[in-house]
Amino acid sequence: MRVAFFEVQSWERELIEQSPLADRAESYEGCLNNKCASLVGGCDAISVFVYCPVDAETMDQMPGLKLITTRSTGTDHIDVAAAEQRGIAVANVPEYGANTVAEHTFGLILGLSRKIFLAHDRVRSDNFALEGLQGFDLKEKTLGVVGAGSIGLHVIRMARALSMEVLAYDVRESAILAEVLGFRYAALEEVFAGSDVISLHAPLVPATRRMVNRESLARMKRGVLIVNTARGELIDTEALVEALDSGQVGGAGLDVFEGEEAVKEESVLLHGDREPPSELRPLRSLLERDNVIITPHMGFYSREALRRILDTTIENILAFERGEPQNLVRG
């Protein structure tokens, strides 16, 4: 099979060139789009990351395409239904860094609860005053975990190690896991209403899009902290800004956010004098706040996790070649 990799970094290219795919793989730094899809139309497989949307039109420009592999767990950037209609398999990387993302999640939680980043910025400006830096203990506070899959369960383990109480919402419940890890499953409404800190780990599907909105925010504890390391579209950003303004939300830690793709194109506008595009205005407001921490979708970005992602992607391709496809995603 001839394979084209997109959004490839230099270290990834080196590993691809050392893999069994070396003699039939092409690597591109840029993103796959409708303009360049025809240039790799003879490829049997492509590998993309989350910033490469693969829609029906793009697929149609690659008539020989048999496999789409994404170097991510989420597949909302791929029209999986259109792929199925065309007989194209889609594979992902379901397990690569549950601990990695969970560790980043708690970095954001601790950064907010103890105002670490605000303190760091002050000290760099030669301001060692403690005024305004009082935080709070996580011990005996309640963490609400929305999406208790592999990442969410790692977050729960960390929370329990800090003596936090945990409420979890998931469409699939495991009584054994709840007993062993010492948490309780609850309805989404109870998780939102009963938590001091809420951490989102749900996939982006129609039912979860903007699940954090004006109505759900109003039901939360006043001063709640909200952390999102899953998908930006789980939160209505305008509603979050309003809740931060009113004090209903005490702080937010966002590794992902609405309009994330546009930021790569328009980041200069977020800090410049020009008015940013309408979809980025709420983000500019968030960037100006001391009680908001934003990181550039880097929860997965550890050397160990990145290596696991690439290794699994290469094995997905080789397994497909052997007629033993693995990690397939259904629409």
The tokens for 213 are 């909105």
Is residue 104 part of the annotated active site? The answer reads no
* Residue of 260, 265, 281, 304 marked catalytic: 260
Q: Are 71 and 49 in contact (CB under 8 A)?
A: yes
Rounded to whole angstroms, what are the CA distances from 255 to 84, 242, 294?
31, 19, 6
Contact 282, 262 (CB under 8 A): no
Question: Which residue(s) pair with 227 in the sheet?
Answer: 199, 253
Tallying the residues shown for the chain, one arrives at 331
Residue 280 near residue 269 (C-beta atoms within 8 A): yes
- What single letter denotes the amino acid at residue 256? V
- Residue 199's beta-bridge partner residues? 145, 227
Rounded to whole angstroms, how far apart are CA atoms 190 and 181?
19
Residue among 297, 304, 307, 324 flagged as catalytic: 297
CA 303 to CA 288: how far, in whole Å?
A: 31
Which two tokens mark 153?
A: 């369960």
Evaluate the CA torsion angle 92, 314, 228, 240 in order and state its sign.
Answer: negative
Please check whether residue 118 is in contact with residue 293, taking contact to mean a CB–CB distance below 8 angstroms.
no
| C-alpha distances out from residue 277 to 38, 81, 257, 274, Å | 31, 31, 15, 9
In the 8-state DSSP scheme, what is residue 212?
B
Amino acid in position 310: L
Q: How far apart are CA 255 and CA 301, in angstroms?
A: 11
Is 120 assigned a catalytic role?
Answer: no
Catalytic residue among 104, 165, 231, 258: 231
Residues acting as catalytic residues: 231, 260, 297
